[in-house]
Amino acid sequence: MDYKEYYKININKRISFIKKFNYFYKLLGDEINRVIETNSNLIFFSAGHSKLVEHINFQKVYISEIINEFISYITKDKNKITIIDNLSLKSIKNKHIDDVIITSLEYAENPIKLLKYINKNVGSDCKINIITSNVFWNPLFQIFEKFNLKFKHPRRNLITSNFIHNLCFLSEYELLAQKKIIIFPFKIPLLSQLLNNILAKLPLIKHFCLASIFILKPIKKNTHKLKDFSVSMIVPCKNEEKNIKNVYSSLKKFGKGTEVLFGDDQSTDDTKKEIMKLMRNQQDFKIRYYEGPGISKAQNVYKGFEIAKGDILVIHDADNTVSPDELNFFLNTLVEKNQNLVIGTRFVYPMEEGAMKKSNYLGNILFSYLYSIIIQRKITDTLCGTKIVFKKDWKKIKKYCGSWGIEDKWGDFDILSGARKNYMKISEIPVNYKERIEEESKMTNTFINGIRMLIICINSFFKLRT
């Protein structure tokens, strides 16, 4: 029997199962909402799961269903829903698509062909969210099917983590994350929340979850070059009067235009005076001055980000311990490799003697290890001041700044956690770290800063898994 005919014959049975397990779909919808963009434009490839859209927040959804009769059971605003088939994506490719949700991969005749076709018709920032059941439970699912406790599909591909990794290789995607979700699909007040929101997130136990969400982004051949973008360099300053000239003399123009924003964070020396001198002698790039809020380096940088006019935002510390000559490679990597965030690491090349205190060195190593676990990506230096991000991506990151349990005074964890929360592509590039020539490092009181960072790490661990 043709599989479409099978679903037409069994549609009432299928709908009955969906209604019976509506709580599972609500839990699944909650998890999806934590991954997709706010007010997302979606494409949804469904295998009889169209009812799921009633639990998802979206602006517009294009649904490709096995049979369109499933869509008729949706009660949500149908003005936001458009029915498509697998071969009609070209008709919507000029519209911005934020996310693709796929629940049909286990039942698709050719998953590789489907993923390749999607890749051709979405942008590099689009997230592909593949939802699969846990193959560990397949023997039990088969027993449930025999006793009519689960709907029996006519086809079921064996979708494992290894298959997804291979699918990414064959279809040109990057796997950004895997979330294991839902360990208890029944609604029992308090117990359900305890099991699904806390227990299911813990190591080992999470492997028994019923479903997974694999989050992918397409790898695209880039047509953009650095010359197509303007650059804003943010130089946060706090009592750096002797370093201002050094920074200025080492800077150069990047991209189609460069502005350098010096943020004086209520210095008690002549930092502001030195910046004003530079503004009277501008050459290849524009010098701008702004008053920092005097709260922290992070707030100083964030203010600079907000008033910056460039397409790309660069954080460059006023101590000039990382040479601006290295920024060109950072910028080209961001643009040409389709990255969202590029950060520096000081722990690959040898440091100049005295460039970093031993206590700061050990703290950096510890927090880099912890943060690699938290964001599920190897990071060797969380606290390097050199960070570069597209302004469009900063707008997504800043929504989460300050939401990690305690204020991040330096901004490094805010930016990394915010990027991970948005499932952004992050690259790390080695830098040559030099000894500070003038003034002293502002990273003092290592113990108190370490406690603050540890609190952020703990909160990030749980919040990035919700």
Give residue-wise pLDDT tens across range 141-162. Answer: 888 888 877 888 777 788 899 9
In angstroms, rounded to a whole number, what is the distance separating the alpha carbons of residues 466 and 461?
A: 9
The pLDDT of 400-409, averaged and rounded, is 91
Placement of tokens 């592509």 in the chain: 425
Give the pLDDT score at 66: 85
φ, ψ dihedrals at 54, nearest 5° = -70, -15
Band of pLDDT at residue 339, cut at 50, 70 and 90: very high
Q: Would you call 409 helix, strand, or coil by DSSP?
A: coil
pTM score, two decimals? Answer: 0.82
Nearest to 372 by CA among 274, 243, 461, 244: 461
Q: 8-22, 154-168, 319-333, 348-362: lowest mean pLDDT where?
A: 348-362
Comparing C-alpha atoms, which of 425, 414, 417 is closest to residue 390?
A: 425
**Pure H helices in 44-88:** none
pLDDT band at residue 414 using 50, 70 and 90 as cut-offs: very high
Angle between helices 161-171 and 111-121 (to 10 degrees): 50
> CA 30 to CA 444: how far, in whole Å?
42
What is the predicted pLDDT for the residue at 148?
77
Coil, helix or strand at residue 186: coil
List the structure tokens of 33. 């909402």
* SS3 (DSSP) at 104: coil
- The percent of residues in the chain predicted with pLDDT above 90, rounded, is 50
Element spanning 429, H or E: strand 426-430
Number of Cβ atoms within 10 Å of the Cβ of 180:
18
Name residue 129's beta-bridge partners: 101, 215
Does residue 94 surpass a pLDDT of 70? Answer: no
Distance CA(303)–CA(305), nearest Å, equals 5
Residue 238 has pLDDT above 70, yes or no: yes
**DSSP helix/strand/coil, 172:** coil
Which H helix or E strand runs over 235?
strand 230-237
Beta pairing partners, 63: 44, 83
Q: What is the pLDDT of residue 142?
A: 84
Give per-residue pLDDT as tens, 185-200: 999 999 999 999 888 8
Residue 139, pLDDT > 80, answer yes
The reply to whether domains 3-218 and 226-463 share a CATH topology is no
Helices and strands, counts by H and E, the chain: 15, 14
Domain ranges within the chain, ordered by starting residue? 3-218, 226-463
* C-alpha to C-alpha distances, 7 to 53, 84, 87, 94, 183, nearest whole angstrom: 19, 18, 20, 32, 28
DSSP-derived letter for residue 433 is B
Pair type for strands 211-218 and 81-83: unpaired
Q: Cβ distance 81 to 119 under 8 Å?
A: no
- Count of alpha carbons within 13 Å of 182, Cβ hemisphere only? 23
* Range scoring the smallest mean pLDDT among 102-111, 218-227, 372-381, 444-453: 444-453
Across residues 200-219, what is the average pLDDT? 91
Q: pLDDT class for 101, splitting at 50, 70, 90?
A: very high
> Which is higher by pLDDT, 376 or 2?
376
pLDDT confidence of residue 151: 82
Instruction: Tell me how many degrees the CA angle 194-370-459 measures, rounded to the nearest 5.
Output: 40
Q: Which amino acid would we find at residue 284? A: D
CATH number of 226-463: 3.90.550.10
Query: What pLDDT is stored for residue 86 in this prediction?
Result: 66
3-state secondary structure of 214: strand
Would you state the pLDDT for residue 364?
Answer: 83
pLDDT of residue 256: 93
CATH classification code of 3-218: 3.40.50.150
CB neighbourhood size of 256 (10 A): 14
Q: Is the pLDDT of residue 440 over 60?
A: no
**What gap in Å lies between CA 274 and CA 261, rounded to an integer?**
13
The upper half-sphere exposure of residue 313, i.e. CA atoms within 13 Å in the direction of its Cβ, equals 24
Nearest CA to 85 out of 71, 97, 75 is that of 71
Yes or no: say if 305 and 418 are a contact pair by the CB < 8 Å rule: no
CB 449 within 8 A of CB 364: no
| 128/104: higher pLDDT | 128
pLDDT of residue 461: 85
pLDDT grade for 304, boundaries at 50, 70 and 90: very high
User: Half-sphere exposure of residue 331, counting CA atoms within 13 Å on the CB side?
Assistant: 29
CA 456 from centre of chain:
18
Residue type present at position 376: Q
Average pLDDT, the chain: 88
pLDDT at 58: 92
Residue 67, pLDDT above cutoff 90: no
CB 384 within 8 A of CB 346: yes
Average pLDDT for 452-463: 88
Element (H, E) at 196: helix 191-197
Over residues 270-286, mean pLDDT: 85
Q: What band does 442 get if pLDDT is binned at 50, 70 and 90?
A: low
Q: Quick check: 2 pLDDT over 60?
A: yes
Question: Chain-centre distance of CA 294, in angstroms?
Answer: 29
Q: Mean pLDDT, to the nearest integer, of 6-35?
A: 89
Three-state DSSP class for 283? coil
Contacts of 26 (CB under 8 A, 6+ apart): 55
Examine the pLDDT at 32 and tell me if it is beyond 90: yes
